[in-house]
């Protein structure tokens, strides 16, 4: 039995969701609702004690960490629409890209996302509700992030993250202005993991990602969104409702 | 031709160094001297434009990022003393550990290491030498780190990194008090990559890592240091001289 627990098709949850749709193997999806803090619920922490999605359960074994799950799916289903190059040098280039997403690109986009979307969830709670909510979060850094979402992120932190988003966009455009996918002709986990973060940036960061400034990224986003697996994923996967963005 | 460019046998440089010694394949080593800032020299930036070690050159192709290099060596030499489990679930557990080193453990230890060791290199330079040095560093975050090494890291940052080192030590001890290696009986890249950061912590952090508080970590360090590949690595690899620690 193969079952993925995740939020809707965005950010880290999108990575294994899309990988599973691309592979076309048999699997089940269990939506974990962030608007109800289900990732910090007791039932979910029995699956992942860190209280973080996504988590994959395969024949009773739990695999965590989105990028690790994607590589696991390649290891277990190597012949189902391979998304990891067979050539070791190209696999290494793929891992440089997925590692960069995990260590750099996802964090800056995440902080701004939290400031825009999670902040008003955090502000809707009473002081008591909020403190009770924090008690259920196992990771100290996540508790700090929730406090900042409620109290406001320091402006110099937001400025620095916006700078990093700019660097990230430049890095993607530099490659994608020259080739269809991040590794060249081949669509791989490098694209899946970057698409997870970059999708929607033309809406969220229209001043940075647009037809004029980043035609390479725009064409790459369109190319990926035209894939049958991507369309199926967006059509079939429940999406959380976090309310409007805070300006 | 297989050639590794790295600092001496510590931190990120140790990971591919030890992997190569464990595999016993034919390779060459080129020591890059951090005391002479060789990682930011033009000749090295022709190999890795990011100015970071380690870098592996294999038949003219350059592979960067220490953990990516280790996985690459597994992909290219799968039968030479395998350090990545064949079982996909165990390989995923290995990757959770190596990812944790790259995203958490190495950073807190690195910041304290910079405050202790790199700071007096940064302080030995004249203002002009220092500014010229910064110009050669391609990564903005690295330039910030050098500025902090010279001006002093903020105390709240040092406190937070020390807290994270405590969390890291607890996490390692929790596992190593129960088993010989991080994945159980099998010595893998999980151990190699964690050893790269943990080796010497009984000297650098004797209040945290010692026979009484962390017998599991201490036994694991000894177990690894008794390996012939590890002894060979330390005996044959040039080590940088960064001078005494700043207290």
Distances (CA, A) of A103 to A48, A202, A232, B227: 21, 22, 29, 32
One domain, residues B148 and B34: no
Residues B92, A71: C-beta atoms closer than 8 Å: yes
CATH code, A49: 3.40.30.10
Instruction: Give residue B241's pLDDT band: very low, low, confident or very high (50, 70, 90).
Output: confident
Pick from A27-31, A243-247, B35-39, B85-89: least confident: A243-247
Closest chain A residue to B73, measured at CA: A88
B151 vs B128: CA distance, rounded Å: 15
- Do B93 and B70 share a domain, yes or no? no
pTM: 0.96
A221-243: average pLDDT:
94
Give A60→chain B minimum CA distance, Å: 11
* Residue A30 C-alpha, separation from nearest chain B C-alpha, in angstroms: 21
Spatial distance between the Cα atoms of A230 and A237, rounded to a whole number of angstroms = 11
Least Cα distance to A158 among A208, A198, A107 occurs for A107
Kindly state the tokens that stand for A195: 């698409």
**Residue pointed to by tokens 């030479």:** B80
Give which of A92, A145, A156, A175 to mutate to test B binding, by max B Cβ within 10 Å.
A92
Task: Tell me, yes or no, whether A63 and A93 share the same domain.
Answer: no
Check pLDDT > 60 for residue B247: no
Residues of B with CB under 8 A from a CB of A: 58, 61, 63-65, 67-69, 71-72, 75-76, 88-89, 91-92, 95-96, 99, 102-103, 140, 167
- Per-residue pLDDT of A168-210, as tens digits, reads 999 999 999 999 999 999 999 999 999 999 999 999 999 999 9
Do A72 and A107 reside in the same domain of the chain?
no
Banded model confidence at residue B120, pLDDT cuts 50, 70, 90: confident
Contact B76, B26 (CB under 8 A): no
Let me know whether A24 and A46 are in one domain: yes
- The angle, 0 to 180 degrees and rounded to 10, between the axes of the packed helices A106-113 and A155-176 is 130
Using a CB-CB distance cutoff of 8 angstroms, which residues of chain A are in contact with residue B65? 95-96, 99
Question: Is residue B242 one of the residues assigned to a domain?
Answer: no
List residues in chain A touching B: CB distance below 8 A. 58, 61, 63-65, 67-69, 71-72, 75-76, 88-89, 91-92, 95-96, 99, 102-103, 140, 167
Choose among A68, A91, A103: nearest Cβ to B95: A68
The tokens for B153 are 């890291």
Q: Which two tokens stand for residue B214?
A: 């962390």
- Which residues from B are below 8 Å from A103, CB to CB? 102-103
Interface touch A67/B92, C-beta < 8 Å: no
Best of B68, B82, B90, B92 to disrupt the A interface (most A CBs within 10 Å) is: B92
pLDDT for position A120: 85
Residues from chain A that touch B175, judged by Cβ atoms under 8 A, are none
Residue B122: inside a domain, yes or no?
Answer: yes
Residue A240 belongs to some domain of the structure: no
Whether residues B201 and B95 fall in one domain: yes
Q: Identify the domain boundary among A52, A76, A100.
A: A76
Residue-number span of the structural domain to which A110 is assigned:
88-227
Domain count for chain B, please give it.
2
A77-85 long-range contacts, CB within 8 A, separation 24+: A77/A23, A77/A25, A80/A23, A80/A24, A80/A25, A81/A22, A81/A23, A81/A24, A83/A19, A83/A22, A83/A23, A83/A187, A83/A188, A83/A189, A83/A192, A84/A188, A84/A189, A85/A183, A85/A186, A85/A188
Please tell me whether residues A127 and A220 are part of one structural domain. Answer: yes
Rounded Cα distance between B17 and B70, Å, is 9
pLDDT at A64: 98
Does a structural domain hold residue A177?
A: yes
Cα Rg of chain A, angstroms? 18
A82 falls within a domain: no
Residue B241 φ/ψ region, left for φ over 0, alpha for ψ in the -120 to 50 degree band, beta for the rest: beta
Identify whether the C-beta of residue A33 lies closer than 8 Å to the C-beta of residue B62: no
- Tell me the nearest-neighbour CA distance from B70 into chain A, angstroms: 10
The residue from B56, B76, B96 where one domain ends is B76
pLDDT at B228 over 80: yes
Q: What is the CATH number of the domain that holds B94?
A: 1.20.1050.10
Query: What is the distance between the alpha carbons of residues B56 and B48, in angstroms, rounded to a whole number?
Result: 10
For residue B246, pLDDT beyond 90 = no
Q: Considering the domain boundaries, does residue A187 fall inside one?
A: yes
User: Is the Cβ–Cβ distance between A215 and A177 less than 8 Å?
Assistant: yes
Q: Residues A90-111: pLDDT tens digits?
A: 999 999 999 999 999 999 999 9
Name chain A contacts of B89, Cβ cutoff 8 Å. 58, 61, 63, 72
**A106-150 pLDDT per residue, tens:** 999 999 999 998 898 899 999 999 999 999 999 999 999 999 999
Supply B238's token pair.
Answer: 């040039």
Q: Distance between CA B155 and CA B210 in Å, rounded?
A: 25
B contacts of A71 (beta carbons < 8 Å): 91-92, 95
Q: Look at residue A244 and tell me whether its pLDDT is greater than 90.
A: no
How far is the alpha carbon of B162 from chain A, nearest alpha carbon, in Å?
14
pLDDT digits (tens, 9 = 90+) for B121-162: 899 999 999 999 999 999 999 999 999 999 999 999 999 999
A193 contacts A15 by C-beta, under 8 angstroms: yes
Judged by CB atoms closer than 8 Å, whether chains meet at B68 and A167 is answered as no
Size of interface A-B (CB pairs under 8 A): 59
Q: Could you tell me how many residues make up chain A?
A: 247
Contacts of A68 in chain B (CB under 8 A): 92, 95-96, 99
Percentage above 90 pLDDT, chain A: 94
Q: Which of A76, A98, A129 is a domain's end point?
A: A76
Q: What is the DSSP string of A127-164?
A: HHHHHHHHHT---HHHHHHHHHHHH---HHHHHHHHHH
Give the C-alpha separation, B54 to B12, whole Å: 7
- The phi, psi pair for B80, rounded to 5°, reads -85, 100
- Count Cβ atoms within 10 A of the Cβ of residue B184 and give its class: 0-12 exposed, 13-18 middle, 19 or more buried: middle
Kindly state whether residues A70 and A35 are assigned to the same domain: yes
ipTM over 0.90: yes
Half-sphere exposure of A197 (CA within 13 A, CB side): 27
Helix, strand, coil percentages for chain A (3-state, nearest 5): 60, 10, 30
Residue B243 C-alpha, separation from nearest chain A C-alpha, in angstroms: 31
CB contact under 8 A, A63 and B89: yes
B110 with B185, same domain: the answer is: yes
- If asked whether residues A176 and A142 sit together in one domain, one would say yes
Whether A66 is covered by a domain: the verdict is yes
B100 and B36 co-located in one domain: no
- Chosen for mutation from A88, A99, A138, A164 (greatest number of chain B CBs closer than 10 Å) is A88
Average pLDDT of the segment spanning B100-109: 97
Q: Å from B47 to nearest chain A CA? A: 15
**Residue showing tokens 């909020």:** A130
Residue A60 counted as domain residue: yes
A20-60 pLDDT, tens digit each = 999 999 999 999 999 899 999 999 999 999 999 999 999 99
Tokens representing A220 are 């790459």
Segment B181-201, tens digit of pLDDT: 999 999 999 999 999 999 999
pLDDT of the residue at B184: 98
Q: Does residue A104 share a domain with residue A58?
A: no
The 3-state secondary structure of chain B reads CEEEEECCCCHHHHHHHHHHHHHCCCCEEEECCHHHCHHHCHHHHCCCCCCCCCEEEECCEEEECHHHHHHHHHHHCCCCCCCCCCCHHHHHHHHHHHHHHHHHHHHHHHHHHHHHHHHHHHHHCCHHHHHHHHHCCCCHHHHHHHHHHHHCCCHHHHHHHHHHHHHHHHHHHHHHCCCCECCECCCCHHHHHHHHHHCCHHHHCCCCCCCCCCHHHHHHHHHHHCCHHHHHHHHHCCCCCCCCCCC
- Residue A246, pLDDT score: 64
């Amino acid at each position: 039995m193969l079952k993925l627990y995740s939020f809707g098709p965005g950010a880290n949850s999108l990575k294994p969701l899309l990988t599973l749709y691309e592979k076309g193997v048999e699997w089940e999806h269990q939506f974990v609702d962030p608007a109800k803090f289900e990732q910090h619920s007791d039932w979910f922490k029995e699956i992942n004690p860190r209280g973080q999605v996504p988590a994959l359960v395969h024949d009773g074994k739990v695999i965590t960490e989105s990028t690790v799950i994607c590589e696991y799916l390649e290891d277990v289903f190597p012949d189902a629409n391979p998304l990891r190059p067979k050539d070791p040098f190209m696999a290494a280039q793929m891992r440089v890209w997925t590692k960069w997403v995990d260590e750099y690109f996802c964090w800056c986009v995440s902080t701004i996302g939290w400031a825009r979307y999670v902040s008003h969830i955090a502000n809707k709670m009473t002081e008591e509700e909020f403190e009770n909510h924090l008690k259920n979060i196992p990771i100290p850094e996540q508790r700090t992030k929730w406090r900042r979402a409620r109290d406001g992120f320091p402006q110099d932190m937001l400025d620095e993250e916006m700078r990093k988003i700019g660097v990230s966009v430049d890095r993607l455009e530099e490659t994608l202005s020259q080739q269809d996918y991040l590794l060249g002709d081949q669509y791989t986990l490098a694209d899946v993991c970057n698409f997870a973060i970059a999708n929607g940036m033309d809406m969220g960061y229209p001043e940075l990602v647009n037809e004029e400034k980043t035609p390479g990224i725009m064409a790459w986003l369109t190319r990926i969104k035209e894939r049958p697996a991507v369309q199926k994923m967006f059509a079939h996967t429940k999406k959380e409702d976090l309310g409007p963005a805070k300006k």
